[in-house]
């Protein structure tokens, strides 16, 4: 059966470079295994963030798809141009992602290229080393901020002078704070202040909010855990 399939592949090759079924299966199997490894490391290093199933599946399949493409094209320049023309009509739609996700996509493509070109051992070595580096950097929290960054929104009455009203509380509970925006609300009867604050590690967020409530007349206060927010 294997010899029959090999003969079919050999007779259908227009460039004279035939790919055996055994080689194809080895490259495809290796790419899938390494894709599973990369996807598993990605999910582990993003355990505190939203991890979408579709992206995890993409990381599994991408090395296998790339390896098959490389093996089918080979050194045939005409096939390469035809393939480029076919892929140029594909449009990918996705929401903007984490820059680290882009690194994982490039990582998966590199592994797929290595498998497709027959560098199986090299693909394994590269995948293991880079997965280990990704896991170690996540474990060490490399590049993470030492203090917790927050967005704070405080609603105050229009007769309150907001410039110095909260300075004492801010100095007590934060390492740094900056007033970013001031917005009117309820036909100008209220103001909404937006601060960017860096919280002290030992500070209780509840105590912080309670002290602010005593100064803004118990109006709305919002403390956003993720500093990347939309317009309000």
The answer to whether the CB of 151 falls within 8 A of the CB of 224 is yes
* Of 181, 183, 179, 177, residue with least CA distance to 158: 183
Q: Is the pLDDT of residue 68 over 50?
A: yes
pTM reported for the whole predicted model: 0.57
Q: What is the mean pLDDT of the chain?
A: 79
The torsion defined by the Cα of 24, 26, 28 and 32, in degrees rounded to 10, comes to 180
* CATH architecture for the domain at 148-224: 2-Layer Sandwich (3.30)
What is the sign, positive or negative, of the torsion defined by CA atoms of 228, 45, 61, 18? positive
Query: How does residue 13 score in pLDDT terms, banded at 50, 70 and 90?
Result: very low
Query: How does residue 80 score in pLDDT terms, banded at 50, 70 and 90?
Result: low
- Residue 178, helix vs strand vs coil: strand
- DSSP conformation class of 8: H
Query: How does residue 24 score in pLDDT terms, banded at 50, 70 and 90?
Result: confident
Distance of CA 1 to CAs 5, 22, 192, Å? 6, 12, 74
What is the sign, positive or negative, of the torsion defined by CA atoms of 23, 24, 25, 28? positive
Stretch(es) of the chain classified as CATH 3.30.70.380: 148-224
Q: Is the pLDDT of residue 18 over 60?
A: no
Query: How does residue 16 score in pLDDT terms, banded at 50, 70 and 90?
Result: very low
The 10s digit of each residue's pLDDT in 34-64 is: 999 998 898 888 765 555 777 888 888 889 8
CA distance 220 to 183: 14
- Residue 176, helix vs strand vs coil: strand
* CA of residue 202 relative to chain centroid, distance: 29
The 10s digit of each residue's pLDDT in 93-109 is: 555 566 778 888 888 88
């Amino acid at each position: 059966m294997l010899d029959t399939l090999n003969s079919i592949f050999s007779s259908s090759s227009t460039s004279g470079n035939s790919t055996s079924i055994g080689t194809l299966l080895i490259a495809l199997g290796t790419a899938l295994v390494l894709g599973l490894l990369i996807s598993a490391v990605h999910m582990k290093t993003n355990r505190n963030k939203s991890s979408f199933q579709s992206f995890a599946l993409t990381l599994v399949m991408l090395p296998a798809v790339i390896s098959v493409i490389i093996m089918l094209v080979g050194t045939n320049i005409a096939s390469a141009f035809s393939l480029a023309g076919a892929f140029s009509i594909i449009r990918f739609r996705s929401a903007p992602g984490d820059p680290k996700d882009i690194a994982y996509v490039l990582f998966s493509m590199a592994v797929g290229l290595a498998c497709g070109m027959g560098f199986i051992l090299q693909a394994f070595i590269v995948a293991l080393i880079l997965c280990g580096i990704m896991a170690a950097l996540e474990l060490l929290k490399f590049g993470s901020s030492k203090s917790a960054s927050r967005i704070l929104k405080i609603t105050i009455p229009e007769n309150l002078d907001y410039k110095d009203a909260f300075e004492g509380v801010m100095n007590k509970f934060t390492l740094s704070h900056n007033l970013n925006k001031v917005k009117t609300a309820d036909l100008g009867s209220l103001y909404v202040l937006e601060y960017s604050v860096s919280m002290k590690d030992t500070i209780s967020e509840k105590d912080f909010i309670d002290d602010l409530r005593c100064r803004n007349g118990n109006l709305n206060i919002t403390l956003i855990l993720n500093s990347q927010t939309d317009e309000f």
